[in-house]
Amino acid sequence: MAFTLLHKKLDQKVRAVGPVYVGQVLAPVVEDERGGRHSIVFLPDKNNPELRAAGRPMHFYFLPSRPRLAREGDGHFIFHLQKFSGIMDPSMNIGESGFSELAGGALSFTATLAPPDGVVDKAFEALKEMLPAQSIDHYMWRPGGGARPPVLVGPVPLKANNTVLHSISFENSPESPEGTSSDNPDAWAFEVQGAGSGALNVLGANAFTTMMGRRPATLLWASAQSGTSQIAMENSIHYDVWQLVTKIKIEGDWEKVRDHFSAGAEGGVSWFRFDTQREVNSLIESGAVTVKIDFGAGMTNAERKADIEKAADAVADKIYALVEAKLKEAGSSIEAESAKAPDVAGKMVRAFRKNFWVGLSVGINSRKDIFEGTFTYEKEINEQVTRSEMLSSQMEGLFDETSSNQDAFDRYFSEVFMEEAFTKIHVIATANANWQADDGTGDPINQLKVQVGYPNSQGSLDWHPTARAKDDLNDDTWSDMAEGAIWNKAAKDKIYAFDFTRHDQSDDEAETIHVRKTIQFKESPDIATNEVTEEYTTDDHMIEVRAKSSGELIISPIKIDMPIGSEDKQVSVLIRVRTPRFGEKTYTITGETERDMRQYRVWYASPDEIESYEYKTEVTVKGRRFGQRPLRWEGDWQASSGASGELLAKIPEVPEDLVEKLDAYLAPA
């Protein structure tokens, strides 16, 4: 019954409180399933002996050994480097205000301190084999052997975890490696996001994103091909561990203590608080005080020195407290007794305790009657300390895969060409028209208008009747606001720019634009309608809006099939051209005007309305002397097609009754 109650009592109170250094660091080395080697350090819980006695699972904590790349559930690394480059063109790329060149890389990856799956369990099994059957109580075996108690294994709780990603750049240097000044300040850029305070859970992960210039990106790209990592990462971790209990035992003889301070007082010595250790040593060397300190294990020399100093302070403080207690029993105090003595503590005004040792000396010597016999003091110091570890690695593993496996390389490394992203259709429109002059020459055009269409993301055609504009080729500035794309005689040199978002790079018709032009004519008998609108498609994005309508019939040039000769003053030819809609026009050709341009030009509402035309030729030959009547003859009306083009009019045969007269008229004088 007593045994059961004892265990029940222990079970109610004991719990795991955290790792402890016991002076025995065990780090089994095991391999993961991919052949990687890992050294895992295990620390036992401070209360493992009590947990074992209570029949509860003992706790063990593993320390991370180094950072590594985290993996997805399917085993692939959480890593990607995207190299980018581009020649950016404001006529091809949305949002670009000018031409520019871009090159660099975007790196994203996730790192963790957690060992790979199965490594901790494998290492703990190796730890069991490393330990002897009889081991330190904080590990698992009972002295003398016995059954192995149940255990729980987890990561060391971190107090802080600061992450650092080494920069692949010439940081804080105004000069580039090529010379006195960098040709591109962004060439060595290495901007890290995610570094700093990391996850406090060893099993957690930290994500990093890095924008880098073209040179670090090139180095990492080459690393993936060579198999050597350029990514170096550090984790500075801090965690609390218990020290083994420090035990202090002080034994003293009051008469010897009194003699020690009597000698000090006679010498007029004023003891500062920082002379504590020296005075403690003097007491120990004189045999007045015996001090025994058990520091336990698991501390470095620096920690041991700090604890010795703490212990010495504790001894001095305890002696002071014992004297205080003695004087209090006698109805006095150190301060009261030292006030009766001459002032010998002038040097101690700014000391930690103004009258520590002087007051102690005066107090003991002034009341020798009560300081007799011996004293004993025992104390245990049980505390945690914060330890720091610097863990680092080159993030190996990934680069071994990418150097030997093209599929792996393609998974973790990709390239994007920036000029292929956010592209647009950029259309420049100009006008070409024979604007009518003040003397009436030219075409009767009032204005030209254009709309440009391009499919939107849903495939529907979006028409833009307005565009940004500039006055002419010499104007360097495009308007901020869009205006109607219209040309007239006063604004005949205007240039318009239409922009559309390109939605499908792979479509064969991605370059095709739709053009809708409108020709507005002045009032004229040669025009069937005052406004003609036509549409067409083209892959040319430099469009010239011509004032030529598909409903235009233009018969030009109009010539005859028998030359007259520029010296001839006698012969003239009259050509009549007519259409049903526009009627007849006549054209006279002489030796002097034979080379002049002539045309029959009319405008129909549409090409379907264009009519066939016909022509008729009349010839006149003048006599050489005054009074001779001209000879005249004409041909029949000749039908022609409705197509525009040259008219080579045939000279009709000379009638028989005019042949002799004609010869006489044309004979040399």
Looking at residue 667, its pLDDT comes to 80
Other beta carbons less than 10 A from residue 507's beta carbon: 11
- Range name among 223-232, 410-419, 537-546 with the lowest pLDDT average: 223-232
Which residues does 639 contact at the CB level (< 8 Å), separation at least 6?
A: 612, 614
- 585-617: per-residue pLDDT in tens? 999 999 999 999 999 999 898 888 999 999 999
Looking at residue 21, its pLDDT comes to 81
Share of the chain above pLDDT 70, in %: 78
Distance from C-alpha of 514 to C-alpha of 324, rounded to nearest angstrom: 104
Distance from C-alpha of 139 to C-alpha of 28, rounded to nearest angstrom: 15
Confidence of residue 662 (pLDDT cuts 50, 70, 90): confident
Distance from C-alpha of 586 to C-alpha of 603, rounded to nearest angstrom: 18
Distance from C-alpha of 490 to C-alpha of 267, rounded to nearest angstrom: 116
Please determine, for residue 135, whether its predicted confidence score (pLDDT) is greater than 70: no
Please determine, for residue 325, whether its predicted confidence score (pLDDT) is greater than 60: yes
Angle 542-547-548 (CA atoms, 0-180°, nearest 5)? 105
Looking at residue 250, its pLDDT comes to 80
> Residue type for 177, please?
P
Looking at residue 455, its pLDDT comes to 93
> Residue type for 379, please?
K
Helices (H), 31-101: 48-53
Cis-peptide, bond into residue 174, ω within 30° of zero: no
Residue 457: DSSP 8-state: T
Tokens of 611: 């009519």
- Range name among 148-162, 355-369, 432-446, 568-582 with the lowest pLDDT average: 355-369
| Residue with tokens 């947990």, as numbered in its chain | 51
User: Strand runs (DSSP E) across 76-204, as ranges?
Assistant: 79-88, 100-112, 151-155, 160-165, 190-193, 196-197
Residue length of the chain: 669
Buried b (16+ CB within 10 A) or exposed e, 368-383: eeebeeebebeeebee
Tokens of 196: 């700093």
Between these two residues, 7 and 378, which has the higher pLDDT value? 378
Distance from C-alpha of 560 to C-alpha of 363, rounded to nearest angstrom: 147
CA dihedral 340, 345, 350, 354 (to 10 degrees): -40
Tokens of 3: 């045994």
Sign of CA dihedral 353, 355, 357, 359: negative
Which residues does 556 contact at the CB level (< 8 Å), separation at least 6?
A: 597, 598, 599, 600, 601, 644, 645, 646, 647
Mean pLDDT score across all residues of the chain: 81
* Domain ranges, ordered by start, for the chain: 2-242, 246-382, 423-546, 552-666
- 555-578: per-residue pLDDT in tens? 999 999 998 888 888 899 999 999
- 482-499: per-residue pLDDT in tens? 999 999 999 999 999 999
Q: 3-class DSSP state for residue 358?
A: helix
Residue range 290-303: average pLDDT? Answer: 62
Distance from C-alpha of 337 to C-alpha of 369, rounded to nearest angstrom: 14
Between these two residues, 524 and 337, which has the higher pLDDT value? 524
Task: Tell me which residue of 400, 414, 521 sits closest to 106, measured CA to CA.
Answer: 414
Task: Tell me which residue of 543, 396, 370, 340 sits closest to 79, measured CA to CA.
Answer: 396
Q: 3-class DSSP state for residue 26?
A: strand
Distance from C-alpha of 500 to C-alpha of 425, rounded to nearest angstrom: 5
Distance from C-alpha of 303 to C-alpha of 87, rounded to nearest angstrom: 61
The top-scoring range by mean pLDDT among 278-287, 367-376, 388-397, 573-582 is 573-582
Looking at residue 137, its pLDDT comes to 64
Please determine, for residue 334, whether its predicted confidence score (pLDDT) is greater than 90: no
Please determine, for residue 132, whether its predicted confidence score (pLDDT) is greater than 80: no
Q: 3-class DSSP state for residue 443?
A: strand
The top-scoring range by mean pLDDT among 194-203, 240-249, 427-436 is 427-436
Confidence of residue 154 (pLDDT cuts 50, 70, 90): very high
- Asked whether 445 and 549 are in contact (CB, 8 A), the reply is no
Distance from C-alpha of 421 to C-alpha of 401, rounded to nearest angstrom: 30
* This prediction's pTM: 0.65
Looking at residue 141, its pLDDT comes to 53
Looking at residue 286, its pLDDT comes to 74
Report helix angle 356-366 to 254-266, nearest 10.
120
Share of the chain above pLDDT 90, in %: 41
Looking at residue 265, its pLDDT comes to 47
Angstrom CA distances, 532 to 483, 506, 527, 543, stand at: 21, 35, 10, 18
In angstroms, the first-to-last Cα distance of the chain is 165
> Residue type for 133, please?
A
Angle 660-663-665 (CA atoms, 0-180°, nearest 5)? 110
